[in-house]
């Protein structure tokens, strides 16, 4: 598969959200997007539910009606506002929001919207809501990739990424070399060793995704207190590092799993290193090692 471009600048944001304060969060996301663009970013990724905060949507004290009122369509004012910045600076912006659909506003989804230089592209609805999310969010049904000069870029949200490798593998089979993970992973700061527990949960599945699929992953996490939860940060861009033995290793190109400081991590990546080796036909077998038609028979 040929791609128009290989080298791109990617930014992820450790983002401190303010629960239920959509306008405040939107203003800060816009300023971070402009700052990242001025530093050369082609794409800026914000965390899960960064528009409204995560805790707002799992709080039983907030009614479903209030949650629906907080949600927006991707044709709504927040996405339109960010689209102006994306157009002005020629960048892609992806951020998390509670989404409702035109004509079906009873349902809300934990979504990520993709915006490009030409405007709002579309959205991904989280296929696997986590635990309490299921009380308020409907389940998404459809994978989502958006076309860019660097080929298709794919999105999964948090729990999708850590516990359901089938989604990332599907995207890789479809040609994606960069997977975006807007996420909201907590750090239980009242417990001894909580930071290490966070790292031990958060990082290995991302690293495995790189090792197994030979692709790049950009992950943006909330950081600091939301309303009742303390989020662990650790936003990072990681990908394959080819060794002298032609094996694949993981390299953190920007950000750090240890970092909790709010701010931008930005780097240049070369997507030609994303060999998607399980889909490669150049080995001795002469065909991909990935065999989805066979796996369907196991179900």
* DSSP states along 76-138: SHHHHHHHHHHHHHT-EEEEEEEEEETTEEEEEEEEEEEEETTEEEEEEE-SS--GGGGGTPP
Instruction: For residues 57 and 22, give the distance between their C-alpha atoms in angstroms, rounded to a whole number.
Output: 13
Alpha helices in the chain (DSSP H): 22-38, 64-70, 77-89, 159-163, 165-173, 194-213, 292-295
pLDDT for the residue numbered 264: 98
Instruction: For residues 123 and 78, give the distance between their C-alpha atoms in angstroms, rounded to a whole number.
Output: 14
pLDDT at 83 over 90: yes
246 — pLDDT class (breaks 50, 70, 90): low
pLDDT for the residue numbered 186: 94
Instruction: For residues 202 and 255, give the distance between their C-alpha atoms in angstroms, rounded to a whole number.
Output: 14
**Residue spans per domain, the chain:** 7-298
pLDDT at 220 over 90: yes
Instruction: For residues 223 and 258, give the distance between their C-alpha atoms in angstroms, rounded to a whole number.
Output: 11
106 — pLDDT class (breaks 50, 70, 90): confident
Choose the weakest-confidence range: 156-160, 233-237, 282-286, 292-296: 282-286
2 — pLDDT class (breaks 50, 70, 90): confident
**In the chain, % of residues over pLDDT 90:** 82
Find the mean pLDDT for residues 75-82.
Answer: 97
At CA 84, angle to CA 82 and CA 87, rounded to 5? 110
**What are 7-56's pLDDT values in tens digits?**
999 999 999 999 999 999 999 999 999 999 999 999 999 999 999 999 99
Find the mean pLDDT for residues 104-108.
Answer: 85
Structural fold of domain 7-298: Nitrilase/N-carbamoyl-D-aminoacid amidohydrolase (3.60.110)
Side by side, the strands of the sheet bearing 43-45 are 119-125, 104-116, 92-101, 43-45, 7-14, 263-270
Average pLDDT, the chain: 94
Nearest to 87 by CA among 41, 44, 118, 113: 118
Contact 267, 39 (CB under 8 A): no
pLDDT for the residue numbered 242: 73
Higher-pLDDT residue of 212, 247: 212
pLDDT for the residue numbered 105: 75
Find the mean pLDDT for residues 158-176.
Answer: 96
DSSP letter at 72? B
**What are 108-148's pLDDT values in tens digits?**
999 999 999 999 999 999 999 999 999 999 999 999 999 99
Find the mean pLDDT for residues 161-190.
Answer: 95
Instruction: Count CB-CB contacts under 10 A for residue 89.
Output: 17
């Amino acid at each position: 598969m040929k791609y128009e471009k290989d080298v791109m600048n990617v930014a992820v944001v450790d983002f401190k959200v303010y629960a239920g304060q959509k306008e405040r969060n939107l203003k800060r996301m816009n300023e971070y997007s402009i700052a990242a663009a001025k530093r050369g970013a082609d794409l800026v990724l914000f965390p899960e539910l960064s528009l409204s905060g995560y805790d707002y949507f799992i709080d039983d004290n907030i009614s479903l009606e209030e949650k629906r009122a907080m949600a927006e369509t991707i044709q709504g004012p927040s996405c339109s506002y960010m689209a102006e910045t994306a157009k002005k600076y020629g960048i892609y912006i992806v951020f998390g929001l509670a989404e409702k659909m035109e004509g079906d506003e009873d349902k809300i989804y934990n979504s990520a919207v993709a915006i490009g230089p030409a405007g709002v592209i579309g959205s991904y609805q989280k296929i696997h809501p986590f635990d309490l999310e299921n009380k308020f969010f409907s389940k998404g049904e459809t994978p989502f990739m958006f076309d860019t000069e660097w080929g298709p870029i794919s999105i999964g949200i948090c729990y999708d990424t850590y516990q359901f490798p089938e989604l990332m593998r599907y995207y890789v089979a479809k040609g994606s070399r960069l997977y975006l993970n807007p996420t909201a992973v907590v750090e239980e700061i009242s417990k001894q060793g909580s930071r290490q527990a966070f790292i031990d949960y958060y990082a290995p599945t991302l690293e495995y995704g790189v090792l197994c699929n030979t692709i790049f992953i950009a992950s943006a996490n909330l950081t600091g207190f939301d309303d009742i939860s303390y989020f662990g940060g650790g936003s990072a861009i990681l990908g394959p590092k080819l060794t002298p033995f032609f094996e694949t290793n993981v390299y953190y190109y920007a950000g750090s799993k240890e970092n909790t400081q709010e701010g931008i991590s930005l780097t240049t990546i070369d997507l030609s290193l994303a060999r998607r080796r399980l889909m490669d036909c150049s080995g001795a077998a002469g065909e991909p090692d990935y065999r989805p038609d066979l796996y369907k028979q196991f179900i």
